[in-house]
Amino acid sequence: MEDASYTAESIQVLEGLQAVRKRPGMYIGSTDARGLHHLVYEVVDNSIDEVMGGFCTHIDITINQDGSVTVVDDGRGIPTGLVPKYERPAVEMVMTVLHAGGKFDRKSYKVSGGLHGVGLSVVNALSEWLEVRVRREGKEHFMRCERGVVTVPLKELGAAEGTGTTVTFMPDRQIFETVEFDYDTIAEKFKDLAYLNRTAVISFKDVLANRQDRYHFEGGIVEFVKDLNHNKTSLHETPIYINAEKNSIIVELAMQYTDTYAENIYSFVNNINTAEGGTHMVGLRSALTRAMNDYAKENNLLKGGLESLTGEDVREGLTAILSIKIPEPQFEGQTKTKLGNSEVKGIVDSLVFEKLSEFMLENPKVATVCIERAILAAQAREAARKARDLTRRKGVLESAALPGKLADCSERDPAKSEIYIVEGNSAGGSAKMGRDREFQAILPLRGKILNVEKARMDKILKNQEVRNLITAIGANIGPDCDASKARYHHVIIMTDADVDGAHIRTLLLTLFYRYMRPLIDAGFIYIAQPPLYKVSKGGKEVYVYDDEALESIMESMGRNVSLQRYKGLGEMNPKQLWETTMDPETRTLKQVTVEDAMRADEMFNILMGDEVEPRREFIMTHADEVENLDI
Ligand code: 0RA
């Protein structure tokens, strides 16, 4: 007869895994695709633990032809020796005992509390079959289970080189609503894991989808941040990187500012994406605000009555990855992706503050660029507040009567309506005559009044011409700006191709950027592209929109061509203006992006700012661009 304690133990084991099969949701969250994917993540997490311990570099995951999944790693291999008290191989216990954890737990940074970290026995319980191969001490070992029950006990297969573990499992169709894997979902998770564990080389192959990828990022989260910013303009070459440890909590942070205005901070705890944030994020935000303010104040970087930078100011345009490792994470929230451990806030706060302050002291150039970025955000915030006060004092702009100078269109559907903001009265006249009054409105702005040189934005907002513009668009300004109230979905800036025109365009873009950003976000702001030249030969006339095109056209037309350069819109008659610039069939419009507007805002600060020196310097170094602005 068998040992009584062994029998009792096996009954417990059976009952344990039976419980998992009865209520899978309790262990893996759900039995839909999400739960199915958790099985893969659970196995891979075990290999990642070996990576974190420095015992493993390669993890190969394959979705096989039959729908099973194989995970191969070159870690130490799950121990195969007998566990003294139980007289059973450790690998068998890892695979069949719920929370065998404890004894075999080599995890110092658990992922439990979240949905994975439940253990390989849960994967085993929810698999139609599961096979393990362990390479250890020169031998390959094998065992197989079916629905959690050992059907082939551990045996030696023969000699093996190196060490490692191979787990192949077939998700149980009796349990899962679907057994179809989504390549992209899984691949993205592996990619994150590779960024977060720079020594890992993760290969993923889906035989069914006929796709494969390999992830290895030597730069770790620094590379993660660089890749996130790939299509953006970064304000400093290399992301700032911090790596520190306190009370067994490891904190890693990579951050880089861009010229965008979005905040892009992702956080991870023990490799789990904490989408809902938590105490580590609270600590990070606090440290960032404190460190930036301290540095700005100590170096007298805050100017123009600005007292301090807010959290939002210092996070505008920031891309960052925060990755922490903690022994006993507590996950909370709707999707269990919010870190709850209260001790983490202070630790992340003090470590990040200390290291970031140190970094800024050692890299004053980078520090200054970052702080100037935050100051720009603060100025926009301050200006928005002033605009709101102004709106309140003067009553609601949107309800004001439409300005008399507006030649409105008859169309009432904003989606079909356009407004041309035209500089100068003569051009305004041509535009009014040339337009299709059905859907095109014209608002002329008097250039002289808009003499923007040195004018500050708050003054500009009081300008009657500008107020006409705000009223005509009807979407209000500042925090009350609402794109859904806009009376036109095409707001088209049409200015002369000279320096004044460029100034007015910069001013208008700055106005939209600071006070009516929802209109930019909605894609309602455009810049008209009038021709720069007219080339004629005999009776033939060709309009040319840029210098590059001019060269090739002049070449193709040969000799005896006459060239007219359009300096102002007023030089075109109404028909020409319609044909070249306003007819939706033939015109080109440049849709304004937030980046365009932001650049205009920066230029505005320099061109119209109080400080003479940077302005002179800017005009000298950017003479070319200012020239191009004349387009
Ligand atoms: C328990 C103890 C040790 C390693 C592992 C488990 C282990 C588990 C998995 C699962 C997939 N790959 C794995 N690799 C290792 C430590 C072994 C030792 O001390 O040698």
In a domain, 8, yes or no: no
Is residue 45 predicted with pLDDT exceeding 90? yes
> pLDDT grade, residue 487 (50/70/90)?
very high
**Which residues lie below 8 Å from residue 358, measured CB to CB, with a gap of 6+?**
none
Most confident of 6-10, 57-61, 626-630: 57-61
Task: Give 78 Cα–ligand 1 centroid separation in angstroms.
Answer: 4
Q: Output the CA–CA distances (angstroms, integers) from residue 286 to 293, 343, 344, 352, in the order listed.
A: 11, 14, 12, 9
Identify the residue whose tokens are 């925060």: 322
pTM listed for this prediction: 0.65
Do 186 and 266 lie in a common domain? no
Task: Give 79 Cα–ligand 1 centroid separation in angstroms.
Answer: 6
Among 39, 41, 43, 49, name the best residue to mutate to test ligand 1's pocket (greatest count of ligand atoms within 8 A of Cβ). 49
CB 524 within 8 A of CB 493: no
- Give the per-residue pLDDT at 494: 94
pLDDT mean over 531-538: 89
Do 129 and 76 lie in a common domain? yes
Is residue 202 predicted with pLDDT exceeding 70? yes
In a domain, 1, yes or no: no
Do 225 and 350 lie in a common domain? yes
Domain end point (choices 347, 363, 388): 388
Q: Give the lowest-confidence range in 107-116, 203-212, 514-523, 604-613.
A: 107-116
Q: Which of 73, 496, 571, 601 is catalytic?
A: 496
- Give the per-residue pLDDT at 488: 96
**Which residues lie below 8 Å from residue 298, measured CB to CB, with a gap of 6+?**
none
Is residue 142 predicted with pLDDT exceeding 50? yes
Do 30 and 160 lie in a common domain? yes
In a domain, 323, yes or no: yes
**Which residues lie below 8 Å from residue 103, measured CB to CB, with a gap of 6+?**
83, 93
| Structure confidence by residue, pLDDT tens digits, 361-416 | 999 999 999 999 999 899 888 887 777 666 555 544 445 678 888 999 999 999 99
Among 45, 46, 55, 143, name the best residue to mutate to test ligand 1's pocket (greatest count of ligand atoms within 8 A of Cβ). 46
| Structure confidence by residue, pLDDT tens digits, 110-128 | 665 445 557 899 999 999 9
Task: Give 59 Cα–ligand 1 centroid separation in angstroms.
Answer: 14
Measuring CA to CA, which residue among 226, 340, 184, 327 is closest to residue 276?
340
**Which residues lie below 8 Å from residue 292, measured CB to CB, with a gap of 6+?**
309, 314, 370, 371, 374
Domain end point (choices 154, 186, 215): 215
Q: Output the CA–CA distances (angstroms, integers) from residue 90 to 3, 95, 100, 611, in the order listed.
A: 18, 9, 9, 73
In a domain, 176, yes or no: yes
Do 64 and 209 lie in a common domain? yes
Q: Which of 73, 92, 252, 423 is catalytic?
A: 423
Domain end point (choices 354, 388, 422): 388
Measuring CA to CA, which residue among 139, 39, 123 is closest to residue 79?
139
Q: Output the CA–CA distances (angstroms, integers) from residue 153 to 62, 72, 140, 172, in the order listed.
A: 25, 20, 14, 21
Q: Give the sign of the dihedral formed by CA 413, CA 417, CA 423, CA 427.
A: negative
- Give the per-residue pLDDT at 395: 47
CATH, residue 521: 3.40.50.670
The span from the CA of 543 to the CA of 553, in Å, is 10
Among 80, 165, 193, name the best residue to mutate to test ligand 1's pocket (greatest count of ligand atoms within 8 A of Cβ). 165
Q: Give the lowest-confidence range in 36-40, 193-197, 405-409, 614-618.
A: 614-618
CATH, residue 322: 3.30.230.10
- Give the per-residue pLDDT at 450: 55
Task: Give 440 Cα–ligand 1 centroid separation in angstroms.
Answer: 71
Percent of the chain's residues with pLDDT above 70: 87
Residues with CB under 6 A from ligand 1: 46-47, 50, 73, 75-79, 104, 106, 165
- Give the per-residue pLDDT at 75: 97
In a domain, 612, yes or no: yes
Q: Give the lowest-confidence range in 294-303, 355-364, 459-468.
A: 459-468
Q: Give the lowest-confidence range in 233-242, 288-297, 500-509.
A: 500-509
In a domain, 225, yes or no: yes
Identify the residue whose tokens are 């100011």: 313
Is residue 601 predicted with pLDDT exceeding 90? no
> pLDDT grade, residue 441 (50/70/90)?
very high
In a domain, 589, yes or no: yes
Do 132 and 272 lie in a common domain? no
Identify the residue whose tokens are 């889906």: 206
Domain with 558 in it? 533-565
- Given the CA of residue 47, which atom of ligand 1 is nearest to it? 12
- Given the CA of residue 79, which atom of ligand 1 is nearest to it? 17
Is residue 56 predicted with pLDDT exceeding 80? yes
Phi then psi for residue 2, to 5 deg, are -75, 160
Q: Which of 140, 192, 500, 601 is catalytic?
A: 500
In a domain, 24, yes or no: yes
Mean residue pLDDT across the chain: 87
423 flagged as catalytic: yes
> pLDDT grade, residue 625 (50/70/90)?
very low
Q: Give the lowest-confidence range in 315-329, 410-424, 608-622.
A: 608-622
The span from the CA of 401 to the CA of 417, in Å, is 19
496 flagged as catalytic: yes
521 flagged as catalytic: no
Rg for the chain, CA atoms, rounded: 33
Q: Please give the structure tokens belonging to residue 534.
A: 């007219």
Please report, as a single letter, which amino acid is at residue 296. Answer: A
Beta strand 418-423 pairing with 490-494: parallel
Q: Give the lowest-confidence range in 160-169, 222-231, 419-428.
A: 419-428
Tell the residue nearest (CA) to atom 10 of ligand 1. 46
610 flagged as catalytic: no
Percent of the chain's residues with pLDDT above 90: 61
Do 205 and 250 lie in a common domain? no
- Given the CA of residue 136, which atom of ligand 1 is nearest to it? 20
- Give the per-residue pLDDT at 602: 75
Do 440 and 318 lie in a common domain? no
Do 160 and 182 lie in a common domain? yes
Do 149 and 210 lie in a common domain? yes
When comparing pLDDT for 605 and 561, which is higher?
Answer: 561
CATH, residue 98: 3.30.565.10
Do 591 and 521 lie in a common domain? yes
- Give the per-residue pLDDT at 2: 46
Is residue 543 predicted with pLDDT exceeding 70? yes
pLDDT mean over 256-270: 90
Q: Give the lowest-confidence range in 111-125, 470-484, 608-622.
A: 608-622
Query: How many distinct structural domains can be found in the chain?
Result: 4
- Give the per-residue pLDDT at 503: 81
CB 217 within 8 A of CB 198: yes
Tell the residue nearest (CA) to atom 8 of ligand 1. 78
Q: Which of 182, 498, 583, 596 is catalytic?
A: 498
- Give the per-residue pLDDT at 459: 72
First to last CA, the chain: 96
- Give the per-residue pLDDT at 101: 54
Tell the residue nearest (CA) to atom 3 of ligand 1. 78
> pLDDT grade, residue 570 (50/70/90)?
confident
Do 145 and 93 lie in a common domain? yes
pLDDT mean over 85-107: 80
Task: Give 172 Cα–ligand 1 centroid separation in angstroms.
Answer: 25
CB 494 within 8 A of CB 422: yes
Is residue 83 predicted with pLDDT exceeding 50? yes
Among 39, 44, 50, name the best residue to mutate to test ligand 1's pocket (greatest count of ligand atoms within 8 A of Cβ). 50
- Give the per-residue pLDDT at 624: 46
